[in-house]
Amino acid sequence: MSGKLYLVGTPIGNLGDISPRVARTLEETDFIAAEDTRVTLKILNHLGIKKPLVSYYEHNRAESGEKIISRILGGETCVLVSDAGMPAISDPGQDLVRLCAENGIEVVAVPGPCAAVCAIALSGLETGRFTFEGFLSTARKSRFEHLEELKTEKRTMIFYEAPHKLRATLSDMVQYFGGDRKVAICREMTKLHEEVLRFTLRQAVEYYEAVPPKGEFVLVIEGLKEEEKISISPEQGAEMVLEMYSSGTPLKSAAKEVAAKTGLKRNELYDLALKMKD
């Protein structure tokens, strides 16, 4: 008889969010697979629990995953925890769950906080339909392809972001979604300096030009509202581009932003504006 895998959600900042069921599952399991054993040790110490830990993270998941599966097949129960929040959400875990499914092993969720879910609930934006986009790539090509794909996304979008990349990400978003798009910036949720700032993307860029971003962030961006699209000719669009250009926005960025607002083609706007400029 094989054991089970328990996916256990851990706090995203506040140890008070450990539920009695999370504590009991950690207490009763045979071993724990942890993304960072030092982080998990803190939780175990807080609960006064001692358990064998194995590490399971991005770069050892193939090898460690195989070992974990064979122990579960041998009858042991395993708890999987990540550094924070729900394992498998922008965290290692997805592969281990797939391996369990392939091996006929039962997987049980013991839910805890998830930053994406907390943020969409806090955002004040539409929650009926949303899409989780995780982290944008730092590689320019895939980052811009990702944003391009989302230009016409109507559902509310959720992104994770690191503080040192926040400014660049907000600026890129202005270019693809337009500066008037609403954003809720959920920072340090469940922690001492928790805050939710509700801006337009342009206001957010201006705010973080003055305030250095610190802590953990989730960005919740309003989806495209069809009725918001301005219906204008390419020549009028090119004039808008030139107006932005004369107040300091690079021509390419201005063309992108006007394209996002109007649905006109970015290249066409850029070429026209270039001609009209000369």
What residues line the site for ligand SAM (CB under 6 A)? 12-13, 82, 84-86, 89-91, 114-116, 160-162, 186-191, 216-218
Query: Which of the 8 DSSP states describes residue 214?
Result: -
**Nearest distance from residue 72's CB to ligand SAM, in Å?**
22
Kindly give, in sequence order, each residue whose CB lies less than 8 Å from that of residue 181, ignoring residues fewer than 6 positions away: 173, 200, 201, 221, 222
The residue among 35 and 257 lying less far from ligand SAM, judged by its C-beta, is: 35
DSSP 55-103: E--GGGHHHHHHHHHHHHHTT--EEEE-SSBSTTSSSTTHHHHHHHHHT
Q: State the nearest-atom distance from the C-beta of 16 to ligand SAM, in Å.
A: 13
Residue nearest to ligand SAM (CB): 85
> Looking at beta carbons only, is 12 or 157 nearer to ligand SAM?
12
Task: State the pairing for strand pair 78-81/53-55.
Answer: unpaired
- Identity of the residue, 218 or 259, whose beta carbon is nearer to ligand SAM in the bound complex: 218
Nearer to ligand SAM, 85 or 213 (CB): 85
- Least distance CB 12 / ligand SAM (angstroms): 4
Q: In degrees, to the nearest 5, what angle opens at C-alpha 241 toward C-alphas 239 and 242?
A: 65
Least distance between ligand SAM and beta carbon 38 (Å)? 16
Q: Which residues contact 156 (CB under 8 A, 6 or more apart)?
A: 120, 123, 125, 126, 127, 129, 130, 131, 220, 221, 222, 223
Closest distance between ligand SAM and the C-beta of residue 208, in Å? 15
Nearer to ligand SAM, 180 or 216 (CB): 216
